[in-house]
Structures are given as structure tokens and as C-alpha cells.
Structure 1
Amino acid sequence: MLSPTVSSRQLPPLQNTTPTQNTPKGPNPCPPSNLPITHFSSPSQLQQLHSHLIKSGRPLSTLPLSSVAAVCALSSPSAFSYARQIFHRAAHQPETVLWNSRLNSLASSASPADALALFARLRRSDIALDTFTLSFVLKACSKLSALSLGRAVHGLVEKLGFHSDLFLLNTVLHMYASCGEMDIARLLFDKMPIRDVVTWNIMITQYTKVGEMDIARELFDSMPERSIRSWTALIAGYVQCRNPRQAIHLFHEMEAAGMRPNEVTVVAVLAACADLGALDLGRRVHEYSDQCGFQKNIQVCNTLIDMYIKCGCLAIARRVFDGMEVRSVVSWSAMIGGHAMHGQGEEALELFSRMTRAGFQPNAVTFVGLLHACSHMGLLEEGRQFFASMSRDYGITPEIKHYGCMVDLLSRAGLLEEAHEFIKNMPVEPNSVVWGALLGGARVHKSIKMGEEAIRHLSLLDPLNDGYYVVLSNIYANAGHWENVARMRRLMRDRGVKKTPGWSTVALDGVVHEFVAGESDHPQVEEIYRRWEELLEKLRQRGYIPDTSAVLHDMDEGEKEQVLYRHSEKLAVVFGLMSTPPGTSIRIMKNLRVCSDCHAALKLISEIADREIIVRDRNRFHCFKGGSCSCRDYW
């Protein structure tokens, strides 16, 4: 008996595979016990196996029918037809179930478009559709943002009378929301006669993704019942919208409601802790993660590393990194960037060598960390080599952030003219970050010419960013050009640019205390001022002289000193000193760059109080200890 073969011209009919009395008595060409019935990966191999089944007298139902669907779903029409004949003869269930299984696999794969191709074939073949068929196709439409086809499938849902199936309606809802049609999704949501927690979660999640946090919170508050996914979606939304305070507040509400965080919740809360510098909560979440066995989750570990780095606990971040059984390029890049932010350029470069020896390919983020390390430590030649190596050795096209790092590296090193030429020869249009790096170098090296050149571009690219005007004002003030300082102030006023007030925070016992430069409504403010005066006497005895060049106002020296004494990081440090036991490290988060006067004062305070003071400013970390700073005064 010849084995069935697939032909585009003619498909032989399936043979009856039930054993009969006329079955040959001789030895089977392929004994049943050795028959590899699951090993076929093409229609032709399927045909050969079918032939063996017939010759050995085994039933057709022995075939793994899901594998038949997988092999023939997107093959030639004749192979697809052949698979259907197998299903009709061998399956004890409707063939729709078997095709649905394949649809689901394709919709969940990296090529969801294949699910749509199979669905089109099912429609042309008049194969019966059920709610699962349509849900899997809608899933593929969501992943591909295939709105037109999604609308058509929604039409089929109504036409076939499936509109009362809640699971299917949720899938339709998710499709519209995923395709950005939130108005249609909301209309469908409002008209749904029955909703479950999944329905609400879909809407909340999608509103958070588009930044509509007020609407998401309104829905959340209206939910008849909530799942851990409801809480997690809203917490993650607040983190995404840069509102870590609200994210942490909501997390506390979730705990009070008796909900236990899952791994996704942990990642979101740790990200909020990283943004806010909430170290106490971050540590508690870390302990909880270890208790739950989440330390094997790479994403949890990567977020822990990021949190500890941004909270100034580099050593703990490194312990988490060293303890990981499995690492990703994100793990290595985060740790390299962490060493760079904390002024440990040599450690960052050494870790990169370990990374490449371990067989990991660096990505664009890795090189941002390496270039930052070189820039912060003045490693000029190493930075040049890394920038060249990106494209030469790893095929990574430099992005705007890499060009910004190079301009920063050159500018900090005093090579302002070279940095300017580098900008002019960039293959991409320089943005405000690039020109801002040149402006920063002009501030360090007191170059009015380059400062004015940078601000000429920045006033067009980012006209409402007060920081740039302040930096140029600082350059003018250092040169004693008070008329230009006044001109900058008028320009800011005319353009409606308001100076961002400097603030610093310090977290104690889970409570974040905030101080604003020049003012404070802190309940212990009078005590803080008194303690500062006492500390100031000790600073003067150590040779501290206020650096009044940091004050951009034309006033007498006494008034300038009083302004300096009310800088937010000084108030935060004093509060930390008076509120914690001796020897406790003080960690401060600041929204602006640390000024030169505060930098000098904090170095002395770390020696006088015998404390480690860690300050995270807008650009990097400063670890003050024993009268020196980790930045080596190069920042």
C-alpha cells in the first residue's frame, strides 16, 4: 500500500486505518513500540508517518492532532485540506477546537500576524467559529494594533450572537483600548450589562498607559471589588507619570486592605522608592521579596539594583548584583551606570571588562554608563575609545544621549572649542541636552563666550527651562557682569520663565521631610536654624569661607551669606544630624545641582560630625566622608 502524498494537483483519499482480517501477518516495517509518532515537522513527513500507521495497522487517532494543526495551518491549501480530513476521521471533537489551539499559540507568539493569516483561511474554508476563535483573533489584533480587523471581528461577535459572553466582550474591550480607541472602549464599557474585575482592570490599565491618571483613579475608586492587578496597575501608572509619592501612598493603602504584593507590584513600588529616595520602604519590600522567593526574578533584582543605587546604597546594590544567579545585559548596565553615578569610574570600567569576558554583548545603555563614568572622572582618552568602539566593535549606532556624553566629557575637560566643533559635526541634530552639556562646561571653566553660544541655541530648543538661564547668570556673576545678570533676569520674566526653587528631602523612619531653599514650614525649623548657627561656628574654625559667587543677586556680602545659609541641602543635613544617632549615614535627595558653597560646607561637616553624607543631585551622587567627596571635586 502506497503512503499518502501531498500534491498541489490531487490529494489521494485517506485510507481506512482500522485493522482487518486481511492485514498482513508478516513483520511490521515499523513496529508500533518504536514508531516516533510525534516527530514530524512538515506535511510530507506527516504523510510518511500516516503511511507507517496504515502499514502497522494502528488507528489514525494515534497522531498528535495538535501537531497536525501546527504543521498544516499555514502550509499549502492541499496540506490544509489534508489536515481537515485527518480531523474528520480521527478526532473525537469538532475540528474548530483543534484550529483554536493553533490560533492561540500563534496569537501568543512573536508573530501574531500568522494568527490572522490562519483566521482568514478558516473563514474561507467555512469552518465554524466559536467564542474562543474570536477571542484569539482579537488577541492578535491587540498585539498588532490591527483596528480595522478588530472592528470586523467585533461585528462577527454581534452577528453570531456572542455579545453575552463576558470573556469575549472583555477581549473586544481590550482590543479597542490597546489600539488607542479609548472613547470607543469607554462607550463599550459603559454599555456592558455585566462587568467583572477583569473588565475594570482593562480600563484602568489602559488609562494609566495614556497618562489619564484622574480617570483611572475614578474607575479604581468605583470598583465593586479589586484584585492585586487593580492595585498594581494604578501604582505602576503613578510611577510612569512621575508621581512616586502617590504610588507609595497607594501601596500603603493596598497593604492596609490586606492585599499581598506580587512580583509586578514589587517592581512598581521599588521604582517609586528609587524615584523618591524612600530607602526604608525599599528595604522592607526587598525583605518581603526574599521571603516570597522573588530574588530569582531578574526584573525584581534589576529594579532592586536601581533602587539601591538611586538611594545612595551602592554597596548593597552591588551585593544584590553579585548574588544574582542569572543576569541580563540590563543588570550589568545598571551596575555600570551606578558606579558611574557614584564617582567610581574605575569600578565601572572594570565591571565592563567582566561583562564582556562573561560573553554579554553591551547595548546602548551600557555605553551611556561607561561614557558617564569617563565624564565624571575626567577619563578623556578612555571616553574617546569607548565612543569609537560602539560602532566599530559592537555595531551600535551612537544616539543623541551618547553625543551628549561626549560633549560633556570634552567640556568638563576644558576642551570647549573641540566640544563645539564636535557638536557642529554631529550627524544628528543636537538637542537641548547636548547644548546644555556645553553650557555646563562653560560654567566650570567660566567661559562667557561658550556660555552665550550655548544659550543662543537653548533659548530656541528649550525656552522655558530656567536652569539654562541660571547657569549663564552664574557665569556672568562670577565675572562681575551684574548688568548681564539683570538682563538674564529680565529675559526670564519677559518669557514667563520662573526659577525652580531648590528643594532637598531626607527620609527618616519612613517619613520624607522636605526643605525648600530660603523658606521652610517644617515644625522644627527654629531648632534647625539654631543648630545650623552652632555648626557654622565649627565650620569657620576649620577655615570655611562662604562662596558667595553662588548667589546670583547684586547685594552685599552679608546678605549673600544669609542666602547661602538657607540652602535646602544645608537644612536637610542639619535636620538629619539632629534626628539620627551618631554614626548614622544621612541620605539627601536634591532636585538641582549642588552649589559650590554647599559642596565645600558638606565636606567639612562630614569631618566635623564624623558622618557619611550622601547627596543625590540632578546629575550624580556625592558621597561626603572624612572631609572629602567621592567626586574628587570634579563635577
Structure 2
Amino acid sequence: MFAFQSPQTVQQPPPLFSKHLECAATRSSCRPRPCSFCTLNPAISTSTTTADKNHVIQRLCQKGELKRALRVLSQEPNPTQRTYELLILSCAHQGALAEGLDVHCHLSENGSDQDPFLATKLINMYSELDAIENARKVFDETRNRTIYVWNALFRALTLAGHGNEVIDLYRRMKRVGIPSDRFTYTFVLKACVASEGVLSFSQKGREIHAHILRLGYEGHVHIMTTLVDMYARFGCVKCAGIVFGEMSQKNVVSWSAMIACYAKNGMPFEALELFREMMLKTHDLLPNSVTMVSVLQACGALAALEQGRLIHGYVLRRGLDSILPVISSLVTMYARCGKLDRAQQVFDKMDERDVVSWNSLISSYGIHGFGEVAIQNFNEMIISGISPSPISFVSVLGACSHAGLVEDGKMMFDSMVREHRIFPSVEHYACMVDLLGRANRLDEAATIIEEMRIEPGPKVWGSLLGSCRIHCNVELAERASARLFELEPTNAGNYVLLADIYAEAKMWHEVRRVKKLLEARRLQKVPGRSWIEVKRKIYTFASVDELNPQIEQLHALLLKLSMELKEEGYVPQTGIVHYDLDSEEKERILLGHSEKLAVTFGLINSTKGETIRITKNLRLCEDCHSLTKFISKYTKREILVRDVNRFHYFKDGVCSCRDYW
């Protein structure tokens, strides 16, 4: 028979007992104001004052009552590891640095600071609280450093942007014989991107890559994806492609990383092709929001409006239209495809907006030449309670530059530190130099460079050289190019710009000298390329392109248009061809420019009345600009050309830039 226990012998703890533990612990005693449990059980009220305070501390941490938990901690000489862990996590979650220091002090007093598990938690806490020096101190004072302790400091330093220190620490870890794990390489690879110096990539990134291969981690999808991302951020698309191609397993993050690599490194066509391959290869992996941001970026780069509309539909079907980065990318995509009204509509429908969303709208109006509207949106963003970011000022200063709003731009620049405590970076100074330079206030631009609080980089000197090209200022051009040749010795574009300036000034001896420098250093000018989307297909054209199957038809129509438009007033600007050739040969070269071929292709293959949209990888040359104005009037077609700087909207023989570009 089974023996049943009498109901009288099974006694459950009174329901108020746990409340009593908390009450007694936080006051050391429930007297003289006893809790409800003590009122009902006066005989045991004093015997429970030394009850399990660990349980009380843990409950208070879970309830978010950190200060009460710390009061209990002061009465408990031997907290458990779990108690300390919850206290540390609470400090991190509540941003409580002072309380975190108190917990750390308590740990040190009873010797628990040598627990590697708790040391890891402390380092993570200090990282969350932006107290990187304290994180270093914990690491230095921990004698038993497990791989988890090392990884915690790797993570903290990487997040804080101390990439070089992570690399040095990694090498130190290898010397003392601590074996790495997959988390180690994730942090160290990210640190390579954050590290400084020209040798960061070649000597550090490749070094870590070699270690990964030697230790057999090439089959780990997360590490290899991080490796792809590292190469992508350094602009080494070929290396990223090799790593991606050799991956035995790929997940949605891997595909997204490689698509982003192409999109962010000037290869939008390849980004879209890889996206199509991803969609066709497997049905198990659905693109996520990161994928869609990169794909939309590629569509915008190619002005592929129809492709972008298809992607927008996919975003809606997947329910990704509530994710801010995706919607911001949609705004940018429509704007870069020339549909500024559609970009505004997408922005207006947003339920929530952050600074990235506003930046997308501000820069969209800027590249279209609507500087006043960009400034208006900038001010509306501030009124809405969102503080501008450094990128906000890059966007609005760029908008002022494209619209020639010099005084507005100067006021914006001055307000950065005065009103928003944002100190100008190289990008902001480059915008100001460009703003003043385009307006032919080159002396002021040069003064800004002289008074910079930081070292002028290639962007600043490049802006000055570009302005000298517009206004043919030889003296400043020579000064700017001398610095650029030191900073970017392999950038052929700087040599070409200087040669253009010499040619404009009829200094042919100097033109030949610069060309000899190009040849001696084996540098080649970036070839001009243009893209056009027709019937959802993207076509690319190179200057003097002979591979297109319609090339003879394109040349014939271009020649016909050129002859007819000369009667309307078009004059070929042969002066931009810097070769010792006769005028007829120079005109032939001009007719081979990629944007002219793309415009003609659009005239032949698009329907009547349809807007022709073209993207170019270089600045629109003066002759192409002039001819396209005449073509828009002669053919009664609207033509939209986006060059490397801005949009040109041609209609009825007039360009939206008002010949200011």
C-alpha cells in the first residue's frame, strides 16, 4: 500500500514570506514597522533578518530597482556569482556608471574580481558605459585571462574605435599561447577596418586572413562573411569576391555582404546581378532589410527607375516598409532616379523619421539643385526635435554649393560648432572649399584651407583643384596639384585636371609635361561611362564605344543631329580635346563621348515622350552639356543626366543647373 502523508504535515511557505525577505533585508529588521508577514508571525521576525539576501538582490535587479539592490549588497559579505552578474547587467542596462563602480569595488574587496566570468561581465559593462579605461583596468588586473576575457576586451576596443590596439593585443595573445576562437576573429577583423594607417589593410587584414586559413576556420560562415565585409570596406572588391566564391556555405548575411560590397564600391551593375543570382539560386534564403538597402542603393546608382519600382513592390510585399533604413534608401533611390516628387511622397508617408531619413531628403534636394528647399528641410528637421548629424551638414552644405548659396552655406558652417557642438571634419571643409570655389571666390577657399584646424586631405585639395578647373586659375591649381601628387600619387584624375587647366590657359608645354608624368608613372585616366535603363534593362556605354550592336546607327544619328543643330546655334567645344588634331577630328572624338551615345540610344529605343534618364561616372563635359540642351529642344524630349556631382534636367533647350556646375 501507498503511505499517504497527512495534510497537516505538508506546510507551504506563507504567501507573504518572500515579501518579508525583501523587507527584512532592505531594512536589516522589520521593526519598528513590521511587514504583513511579521505582523502575523511575530515570533520569527528577528530570525529572518539574515535571510538569503542573494535572492533579494537578484529579485530587485530583475525588477529594475538597482539602488535598493545595492543597499542590500552592502549587508551581504558573500554574494553569489549570479548575484554579481545581475548587478553588473543592471548597471549596464541603466547606464549607471557610478553604481557600476560600486559593484566593482565590492567585487574587489571580497576577491571575486579574479573570477574570469565576472571579469568578462565587467569589461562588457564598462564598454556599454563608454568607460574604456576601466575596461582596460579590469583586463590588466585579471590574472586568469581566459579567451572570454580577451574577447571581451577585443569587443570593447573595437566598438570604441581602437582598431590598432586590438591588433596589437591580438598579437600579444598569440605570443602567450591563448588559442583564438570564432568570436576572436570576428572582433579582430572588424578592428582591421577601424585601424589607422596605410598598412592597416595589407599588413593586418591579410595577416588575420592567413591565421584564419591556417586554423581551419574557412568553413565558418560568420567569420568568412566578416572577412568579405572587411575587404569590401577597404575597397578590395576582388579579394572579397574570391572569399565569397570559396565559401562552402552562404547565408543571407553572406549574400548581403557581397551585394553591399559591389554597391558601395562603384559596381552597382554587379550588385544587381548578384541579387538576381541570389533570388534564383535558392528559395530558402529571403533577402532581409540589409540586402534591400544595398539593392536600392545599386538601383539609385544606375538610375534604374523600373528596377527600383520592382524592388519597392517587393519591400511592400515583405513588410519591410516599416524599417527606417529601407525607407530612407527608397527616398534616396527615387531621388537619384530623378523622381524627386516620388521621393517626397515616400518620406511624407513615414510614420517615424530619424536623422538618416531627413539626411536622405536633404541630400536629394541638394543634388537636384534645390538648395533653398534643402535648407528648409534642414530647419524643419531641427524644429521636429531631431539634432543634425555631421552627415546632415555635409548634405546641406553640398546643397548650398550646387545652388550657389554662398552666404547661406557660410552661416550653416558657422552654426556647426556654435549651435550644435559639431566640429568640422575634412568632408565639411571640402564642402566649403567647393562652395566658395564654384562661386569664383578662390582666395577665400584658399584661406579656409590655410586656417583649417586639421590637416587638409585629398578631398579638400581636390575640391580646390576642381574649382580651379572651372575658373582656370593656374597658380592655385599648381599649388593644389602639388599636394595631391604627394597625397594621391596614383590618382590619374588629378593629373588630368591639371592638364585640362593648362590646356585652357594655352600652356601646351605644361600639358605635354603632365602627360609625360602620367606615362612615366603608368597611370591611366578613368574611362568615361554612362548607363541608361530601357524597358527594365540596363545598358552601359564607354567613350568611343565600338562594341554596341547599334553603334553604327548611333553614330549616324549623332552625326545627323550635330549637323542639324549647328544650324540652330550649336557650336562644338573642341577646346576640351587636348590633342594636336584638326577641328574635324576633334569633333569626331567629341561625338564618341559615352553620354552622347547613351542619349542617342535612348532616342532610338524608348517611346516618344518618355523621359530619358542617364547616369555618368564623371563630371558632364561642356560639349555634352551644350549638345544635350539643343537635343532636348530639337527632339522635344526631356533628358535627365546625373553626373558624379549633381542632376542636369534638360527641357526645351534649358538645363536645371542654369549652367552652374
Q: TM-score range by the shorter chain?
A: 0.7 to 0.9
Pairwise CA distance, 1:192: 6.8
What residue in structure 2 maps to residue 392 of structure 1?
Answer: 418
| 209, 217, 224: which one aligns with 1:203 | 224
Letter matched to residue 511 of structure 2: V
Corresponding residue of 2:559 = 533
Alignment of 1:541-620 (within 5 A): 541-620=567-646
CA contact (8 A) 2:301 2:336 kept: yes
Match status 1:229 vs 2:253: yes
The alignment yields a C-alpha RMSD, in angstroms, of 4.5
Query: What secondary structure is seen at the aligned counterpart in 2 of 1:622?
Result: strand
CA distance in 2, matches of 1:261, 1:398: 37
Distance 2:524 2:409 in 1: 36
Matching of residue 82 in structure 1 with residue 108 in structure 2: no
CA deviations over 1:426-459 (Å, ceiling 9, x no partner): 3333233323333333332233333333333333
Residues 209, 469 of structure 1: CA spacing in aligned structure 2 closer, same or farther, 3 A cutoff?
Answer: closer
Separation in 1 of the partners of 2:428 and 2:567?
45
Match of residue 55, structure 1, among 10, 27, 38: 38
Once the two structures are TM-superposed, the CA of residue 405 in structure 1 deviates from its matched residue by 1.9
SS of structure 1 residue aligned to 2:539: strand
Alignment equivalent of 2:58, drawn from 55, 61, 65:
65
Deviation of the 1:568 alpha carbon: 1.0
Q: Does 2:511 align with 1:485?
A: yes
| 2:520 aligned residue (487, 494, 500) | 494
Match for residue 280 of structure 2?
256
Partner of 1:519: 545
Contact (CA 8 Å) 1:103, 1:137: kept in 2 or not? no
Q: Distance in 2 between matches of 1:233 and 1:47?
A: 59
* Aligned residue type for 1:144: A
**Is the contact made by 1:273 and 1:279 (CA closer than 8 Å) also made in structure 2?**
yes
* Structure 2 residue 449 is the aligned partner of structure 1 residue 414: no
CA contact (8 A) 2:57 2:72 kept: no
Length, aligned pairs only: 584
CA contact (8 A) 1:614 1:622 kept: yes
- CA separation in 1, counterparts of 2:656 and 2:515? 34
Contact between 2:541 and 2:594, CA under 8 Å: does it hold in 1? yes
* Structure 1 position 445 matched with structure 2 position 479: no
Q: Which runs of 5+ in 1 are unaligned?
A: 1-17, 24-30, 88-94, 164-168
Among 341, 348, 353, the alignment partner of 2:374 is 348
Instruction: Quote the residue 1:143 is aligned against.
Output: 155
Alpha-carbon separation, structure 2, partners of 1:208 and 1:591:
24
CA distance, structure 2, for counterparts of residue 83 and residue 284 of structure 1: 65
Residue in 1 that maps onto 2:496 = 470
Is the contact made by 2:225 and 2:253 (CA closer than 8 Å) also made in structure 1? Answer: no
Distance 1:561 1:337, change over 3 A: same
Give the stretch that moved more between structures: 310-319 or 569-578.
310-319
CA distance in 2, matches of 1:149, 1:489: 46
Deviation (angstroms), 1:597: 0.9
1:140-166: per-residue Cα shift (whole Å, max 9, x none)? 44531486699989x9999xxxx9xxx
Equivalences for 1:25-424 in 2 at 5 Å? 44=26, 52=35, 55=38, 65-68=58-61, 79=73, 82=76, 96=82, 124=112, 140-145=152-157, 170-171=182-183, 174=186, 177-178=189-190, 199-211=220-232, 217=241, 220-221=244-245, 225-257=249-281, 258=283, 259-424=285-450
Distance 1:215 1:622, change over 3 A: closer
* 8 Å Cα contact 2:649-2:656 kept in structure 1: yes
Separation of aligned partners in 2, 1:75 and 1:310 = 55
* Separation of aligned partners in 2, 1:264 and 1:499: 34
Contact 2:302-2:532 within 8 A present in 1 as well: no
Change (3 A) 1:409 1:605: same
* Residue aligning to 1:624: 650
- Structure 1 stretch displaced more, 283-292 or 534-543: 534-543
169-178 or 429-438, which deviates more: 169-178
Provide the secondary structure at the position in 2 that maps to 1:523. Answer: coil
Task: Point out the more displaced range, 291-300 or 506-515.
Answer: 506-515
Secondary structure, counterpart of 2:76 in structure 1: helix
Larger displacement relative to structure 2 (61-70 or 106-115)? 106-115
Between 247-256 and 531-540, the greater mean CA deviation after superposition: 531-540
| Pair 189,435 (structure 1): closer, same or farther in 2 beyond 3 Å | closer
SS of the aligned residue for 2:614 comes to strand
Q: Is the 8 A contact 1:119 1:137 kept in 2?
A: no
Question: Structure 2 residue aligned with 1:458, among 475, 481, 484?
Answer: 484
Query: Which range moved further: 428-437 or 134-143?
Result: 134-143
Query: Which of 492-501 and 612-621 deviates more?
Result: 492-501
SS of 1:430's equivalent in the other structure is coil
User: Could you tell me how far apart the structure 2 residues matched to 1:390 and 1:63 are?
Assistant: 50
The 8 Å contact of residues 112 and 143 in structure 1, kept in 2 or not, is answered as: no
Report the AA paired with residue 494 of structure 1: A
Residues in 1 aligned to 2:338 and 2:353: alpha-carbon distance in whole angstroms: 22
Distance 1:214 1:421 in 2: 41
Helix, strand or coil at the partner of 2:460: helix
Provide closer, same or farther for how the CA distance between residues 291 and 48 of structure 1 changes in structure 2, counting only shifts above 3 A: farther
Q: Could you list the runs of 5+ residues in structure 2 that have no partner in the other structure?
A: 1-10, 42-47, 122-145, 159-165, 193-203
The TM-score normalised by the length of structure 1 is 0.78
Q: Quick check: 1:235–1:251 contact (8 Å CA) kept in 2?
A: yes
Letter in 1 for 2:445: A
Q: State the Cα deviation string for residues 134-192 of structure 1 (Å, max 9, x = none).
A: 99867744531486699989x9999xxxx9xxxxx654554555555876787577757
- Aligned equivalents of 2:113, 2:30: Cα separation in 1: 25
What is the CA–CA distance in structure 2 between the aligned matches of 1:105 and 1:216, rounded to whole Å?
40
Q: Distance in 2 between matches of 1:174 and 1:123?
A: 32
Distance 1:125 1:409 in 2: 56
Which residue pairs with 2:452 in the alignment? 426
Shift of 1:76: 6.9
- The residue type paired with residue 630 of structure 1 is S
Q: CA deviation at 1:253?
A: 1.3
CA shift in 2, pair 1:510/1:82, >3 Å: farther
- How far 1:521 moved relative to its partner? 1.1
Cα 1:84–1:534 change in 2 (3 A) is farther
Letter in structure 2 aligned against 1:395: R
CA spacing shift, 1:305–1:142, aligned 2, 3 Å? farther
Q: Distance in 2 between matches of 1:261 and 1:47?
A: 59
Q: 1:514 to 1:142 in 2, by over 3 A?
A: same
Q: 66-75 vs 624-633, which deviates more?
A: 66-75
